[in-house]
Structure 1
Amino acid sequence: MSIFEWFFERNNPGPTGTVETYHHKLYWPRIWILIAGTAALMAFLFFIYCVPLNHLETFEIGNACLGILFSIAYLVTSYYIYVKPDYNNMGFLGFIDNPFKYTDDVNRFMLFFQALLLPGKIISIPIVNMFSLLFTARKSNN
């Protein structure tokens, strides 16, 4: 943060986005939830299977377990955390830094964090909704 940003926005900062926890419920037909969930689960398992094969000569079971745990933690984080930046305060033309505001830096960082979590959302949301659908169908059959 530069001295100009601190001086001009010290008393009246601009709007910034929000970070929320959110449970993503898909309102799709059941067959599409099953198809999307199966495809996302297969993509995740393919990723888990292929990552250790790239480093087969240095493969250790501890590193593989650590990679799987970090992948699952990333999916859980990206499922529950919803970052929503304020798109009206992103700097000049949406990407050029405004030297007199620090809140546009915060919003651009939130946009970066939102993009970082997007692949995890694409994988985790269909998987969780598929398991939710399967477990509620199983409970209703009993």
Structure 2
Amino acid sequence: MSLYEYWCEQYDPKPIGSVDLNTEHIAQTSPGVVCFKLFAATMMTAGLFWVPFHFLPLYGWQSVAVSSGIVMLYVGIAFFFIPSPDTDNLGWMGGLINDPFHYSDNWNRTLLFWHGLLGPGRFIAGSILDTAAFLGIAKSDPVPCSEEYFAERYQPPEGVSTANATYAELPAEASPGSDPRLTREEENQKRYGLASARFLINDDE
């Protein structure tokens, strides 16, 4: 980053992505999908384990312990921290050429790199949680849905039981600690991926 890029950025700021803290997971419910993800995650975990196990100058149980710790640390970081670059500001030609007038594109490309690097770890963590929810060891987080879907699925005149469904209505106003620059719809879009979400549904109980 040059002083010229810094000066131009102050004069004409461009959007920069963020690193989001993730504590939620909506589990897959299809047995076929869960089994496929578990198999793929097992293969990926074996590959991740082999790299430090093969290259670290350790032997025996020490190599196994250190390699296992590295894999668990990587998977944990990948699940809890999600780099979210602003893909509209990656530089010129989609990020192939650096923007000489701004430094924000450098940050977004860095976030994009880490987003891809942590991708396998997020997949492994999600597969573990999917399997745990499928076996009944853990519960999935509620699924965001629109008011229209809620009325159609859970409030029909007749024919659908809601005995096993629990729901919570999202707050009408921005929650404390949220970004004051975002509207309620924008906050729901960022957190739940659905701007029109009004209810959180959980029918796994």
| TM-score normalised by length of structure 1 | 0.79
Deviations 1:39-87, CA, capped at 9 Å, x for gaps = 14532563477557746x9624223211110110101111122221111
Once residues 59 and 33 of structure 2 are traced to their aligned partners in structure 1, the CA distance between those partners, rounded to angstroms, is 35
Once residues 87 and 126 of structure 2 are traced to their aligned partners in structure 1, the CA distance between those partners, rounded to angstroms, is 24
Runs of 4+ in 1 over 3 A off after TM superposition: 44-55
Q: Could you tell me how far 1:3 is from its partner in structure 2?
A: 1.7
Q: Corresponding residue for 1:140?
A: none
Once residues 20 and 58 of structure 1 are traced to their aligned partners in structure 2, the CA distance between those partners, rounded to angstroms, is 35
Residue range with higher mean Cα deviation, 3-12 or 37-46: 37-46
Q: Corresponding residue for 1:108?
A: 109
Identity of aligned residues (%): 25
Gap runs ≥5 in structure 2: 140-205
Change in CA separation of 1:45 and 1:39 when aligned onto 2, cut-off 3 Å: same
Deviations 1:77-134, CA, capped at 9 Å, x for gaps = 1112222111111110112101110000000000001011011122221112211332
Once residues 3 and 104 of structure 1 are traced to their aligned partners in structure 2, the CA distance between those partners, rounded to angstroms, is 15
The CA RMSD over aligned residues, in Å, is 2.6
Contact 1:91-1:98 within 8 A present in 2 as well:
yes
More strand by share: 2
Q: Could you tell me how far 1:33 is from its partner in structure 2?
A: 4.6
Contact 1:24-1:79 within 8 A present in 2 as well:
no
Gap runs ≥5 in structure 1: 138-142
Task: Report 1:1-142 matches (<5 A).
Answer: 1-22=1-22, 23-29=24-30, 31-43=31-43, 46-47=46-47, 50=50, 54=54, 59-95=59-95, 96-134=97-135, 135-136=137-138
Contact 2:89-2:104 within 8 A present in 1 as well:
yes
Once residues 125 and 88 of structure 1 are traced to their aligned partners in structure 2, the CA distance between those partners, rounded to angstroms, is 27
Could you tell me which amino acid in structure 1 is paired with residue 119 of structure 2? L
Change in CA separation of 1:91 and 1:64 when aligned onto 2, cut-off 3 Å: same
Q: Could you tell me how far 1:14 is from its partner in structure 2?
A: 0.9
Residue range with higher mean Cα deviation, 46-55 or 67-76: 46-55
Could you tell me which amino acid in structure 1 is paired with residue 132 of structure 2? F
Contact 1:85-1:107 within 8 A present in 2 as well:
yes
Once residues 107 and 89 of structure 1 are traced to their aligned partners in structure 2, the CA distance between those partners, rounded to angstroms, is 7
| TM-score normalised by length of structure 2 | 0.57
